[in-house]
C-alpha cells in the first residue's frame, strides 16, 4: 500500500499545481472599484477568443481531475486484487505443509520396517511364545524381536530374526507350534503397540522360561540378566 500512497501523492500534487496555474489565468478580472468602461461593439468580437481559451482550460482541468480519480481507483483495485491473491496462496501453502507433516508423522511412527509377511510371522511368534499371558507379556516378547532387528549383530528384518539359524532361535518354530497357533486380538494389539514404540524391555535381546534360565544355564552364564516378568526371564548380550 505504501507504493500506492506515493503514486496518489504525486497525482494530487500535480492537480493542485495545475489548479493554481489555472486560477492565475483569472486574476485579470475587473476591479470592482474602477469605473465601468464602454466597450465598442467592434471590440466584443475581439474578446471572444480569450473566453474560448478560458473554457478550454477549464475543460482540460476537469478532464485531468477525472483522469486522476480514475487512475487512483484502478491502482486501489489492483492492490486489493494482489493482496487477495497473496492471501489465497499463503493459505494453500499452509494447508499443503500441514498435510505433508501429517503424512510424514504416520510413516515415521513404526519403529522398524514391517511388511505384510513380517507382520503375519510377528503375530504368530508372539502368540506362540506368550500364549495365555497378559498384554505386557506379549509386548515384551515383541520388544525383544524389535531390539534384535535394530541391532547390527542380528538380522535386519522381523522374519529373518524369527527364522535365524534355520529356526533355532525360538522354541515354537522348532517344535511347530508357530505354524498352528490361533492369533488372538490381544496379540494383535500387543504387536501393534510394540511396532509403534511401546517398550518395556530395557534393551533385552533374549528371554527364556524360568525353568530353563536358572544358574548353570547358557542364558545365565553367557548373558546379562535384566528382569523377570510373566514366566520369562529377560537377558541382554
Predicted confidence pLDDT, tens digits, the chain (237 residues): 555 555 555 455 554 544 454 444 434 444 444 444 444 444 444 545 555 555 565 566 566 656 666 666 666 666 666 666 666 666 666 666 666 565 544 455 889 999 999 999 999 999 999 999 999 999 999 999 999 999 999 999 999 999 999 989 999 999 999 999 999 999 999 999 999 999 999 999 999 999 999 888 999 999 999 999 999 999 999
Residue 154 three-state SS: coil
Q: Where are the domains of the chain?
A: 2-27+40-108, 116-236
3-state helix vs strand vs coil in the chain, percent to 5: 65, 5, 25
Contact 168, 178 (CB under 8 A): no
CB contact at 8 A, 187 and 126: yes
Q: What does the alpha-carbon distance between residue 192 and residue 183 come to, in Å, rounded to a whole number?
A: 13
CB contact at 8 A, 187 and 127: yes
**CATH number of the domain at 116-236, please?**
1.10.10.2520
- Residue 214 pLDDT: 87
Residue 142 DSSP SS3: helix
Number of neighbours of residue 79 by Cβ within 10 angstroms: 13
| The predicted structure's pLDDT at residue 102 | 55
Amino acid at each position: 500500500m505504501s507504493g500506492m500512497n506515493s503514486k496518489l501523492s504525486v497525482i494530487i500534487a500535480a492537480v493542485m499545481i495545475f489548479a493554481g496555474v489555472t486560477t492565475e489565468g483569472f486574476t485579470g478580472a475587473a476591479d470592482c472599484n474602477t469605473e465601468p468602461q464602454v466597450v465598442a461593439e467592434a471590440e466584443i468580437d475581439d474578446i471572444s477568443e480569450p473566453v474560448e481559451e478560458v473554457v478550454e482550460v477549464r475543460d482540460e482541468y476537469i478532464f485531468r481531475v477525472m483522469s486522476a480519480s480514475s487512475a487512483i481507483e484502478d491502482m486501489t483495485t489492483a492492490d486489493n486484487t494482489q493482496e487477495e491473491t497473496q492471501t489465497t496462496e499463503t493459505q494453500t501453502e499452509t494447508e499443503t505443509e500441514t498435510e505433508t507433516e501429517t503424512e510424514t508423522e504416520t510413516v515415521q511412527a513404526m519403529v522398524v520396517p514391517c511388511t505384510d509377511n513380517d507382520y503375519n510371522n510377528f503375530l504368530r511368534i508372539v502368540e506362540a511364545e506368550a500364549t495365555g499371558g497378559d498384554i505386557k507379556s506379549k509386548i515384551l516378547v515383541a520388544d525383544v524381536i524389535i531390539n534384535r532387528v535394530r541391532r547390527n549383530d542380528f538380522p535386519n528384518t522381523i522374519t529373518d530374526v524369527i527364522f535365524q539359524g534355520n529356526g533355532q532361535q525360538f522354541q515354537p518354530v522348532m517344535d511347530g507350534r508357530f505354524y498352528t497357533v490361533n492369533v488372538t486380538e490381544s496379540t494383535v494389539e500387543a504387536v501393534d503397540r510394540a511396532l509403534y514404540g511401546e517398550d518395556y524391555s530395557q534393551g533385552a535381546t533374549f528371554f527364556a522360561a524360568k525353568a530353563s534360565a536358572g544358574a548353570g544355564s547358557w542364558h545365565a552364564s553367557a548373558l546379562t540378566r535384566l528382569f523377570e516378568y510373566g514366566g520369562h526371564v529377560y537377558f541382554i548380550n
